Structure 1
Amino acid sequence: MKYVEVEWDDECRGFRVDPYGYLEELPRLAPELPPGARAFVTDPDHYRFSSPRCVKDLALAEVRVATDKSGSLVVRFTPNPWKHEEELEIRYSGVVHFSFDSPHAIDWMASDTFLLDEVLPDPAGCRHEIALTDATLVVRCRDLDAVWTTP
């Protein structure tokens, strides 16, 4: 990611995450983002770690790629029972690129957990990068719609 920092810390045996570089740039970047992406990342709870609507600690549940040429993609995250009351579904439209890189370096976790994300302007519309505990998901698309729902 360009502004958000996510790195493994051997000393504390956990991830250090820091969205503040991105949050400092967000007022400049937000007007260049498509409406859905802008609403998602400028939500005050998005990076507030204590909020039940903070993306951190959600569990990756499903990735649905359209088999037609509609350019749609859906990524669903389930709630962390100690933090969230709702699940998050991100619906991407006009997808021109999708990648999921998983080195399988962490074998003691049952699922990949959402660490942090960053949405940047892109010629296609926006570029959404999600850092997971053992993978990175990148989508370049026209826009996205993030929907919180009760499971």
Structure 2
Amino acid sequence: MQYVDLAARVGDLSGVVDPAHYVSHLPSISAALPPGARAFATDTDHYDFRSLRCVKDLTVRTVQGAGGDEMVVEFQHNCWKHDRDLVVRYSGVSSFIVESAAGDRGTDVGTVILDEILPHRDGCSHEIAGWDGTLTVVCRDLQAIWMETACSNEA
């Protein structure tokens, strides 16, 4: 099966992204994903734009451990859509790439549009696309945790 680069597709977007193509292929690739990645990728709320557990409209708050074997990416909720923040813990990290659409913005990729988790020879790759760039983490496995938070109405 061939996969189209998420960043390339996002670069051509105008309006809302429909993750239906990726979701339709999930059943055929999910068995090849490590357990934590499989649980997150196949969660029925993950790609439902109306769900409180959809990654769309989150923002990257912090990236910890970049360049190391263990990484943590914290995503901040959007008060009008989410009631929790998302924390993704990556183990056995073999690659971390940030691609910015407009200059060097560090790990600020803007508001998340969507993400894809794909099988990789090292475990899985997790690509997070935002309006202003992408983050890609290749790792042995990941664990996604939705954390309680208080909405500040500043998001």
The alignment's TM-score, normalised by the length of structure 1, stands at 0.85
1:76 is paired with a residue of what secondary structure?
strand
Identity %: 48
Alignment pair present for 1:8 and 2:13: yes
Distance 1:24 1:103 in 2: 28
Shift of 1:17: 0.7
**Separation in structure 2 between the aligned mates of residue 139 and residue 91 of structure 1, nearest angstrom:** 11
The structure with more strand, counted as a fraction of residues: 1
SS in 1 for 2:13: strand
Deviation digits for residues 75-100 of structure 1 (CA, Å, limit 9, x no counterpart): 11011010000000000000000011
2:146 to 120, 131, 148: 148
Corresponding position: 1:101 with 2:106: no
1:72-126 deviation per Cα after TM superposition (whole angstroms, max 9, x unaligned): 0111101101000000000000000001111327x9xx97111101011000000
On the 8 A contact 2:109/2:129 being kept in 1, the answer is: no
**Distance of aligned partners of 1:124 and 1:111 in 2 relative to their CA distance in 1, 3 Å threshold:** closer
> Hey, what does 1:119 align to over in structure 2?
117
Aligned residue in 1 for 2:152: none
Q: Distance in 2 between matches of 1:39 and 1:111?
A: 25
CA offset at residue 59 of structure 1? 1.2
Task: Show structure 1 runs of 4+ deviating over 6 A.
Answer: none
* SS of 1:43 mapped into structure 2: coil
Q: Kindly provide the amino acid, as one letter, of the partner of residue 80 in structure 1.
A: N
Query: RMSD between aligned alpha carbons?
Result: 2.1
Which position in structure 1 is the counterpart of 2:45?
A: 45
Give the deviation of 1:2 after TM superposition.
2.4
Structure 1 CA distance for aligned equivalents of residues 4 and 32 of structure 2: 16
Match of 2:134 in 1: 136
CA distance in 1, matches of 2:41, 2:4: 15
Q: Distance in 2 between matches of 1:22 and 1:49?
A: 14
Q: Is the 8 A contact 1:3 1:21 kept in 2?
A: no
1:18 CA drift (Å): 1.7
Structure 1 residues 111, 142: CA separation in 2 closer, same or farther (over 3 Å shift)?
closer
Partner of 2:59: 59
Which amino acid is 1:95 matched to? V
- Aligned equivalents of 1:17, 1:102: Cα separation in 2: 19
Cross-structure match for 2:25: 25
- Asked if the contact 2:127/2:134 (under 8 Å) is kept, the reply is yes
Instruction: Give the equivalent residue in structure 2 for 1:12.
Output: none
How many residues were matched structurally?
A: 141
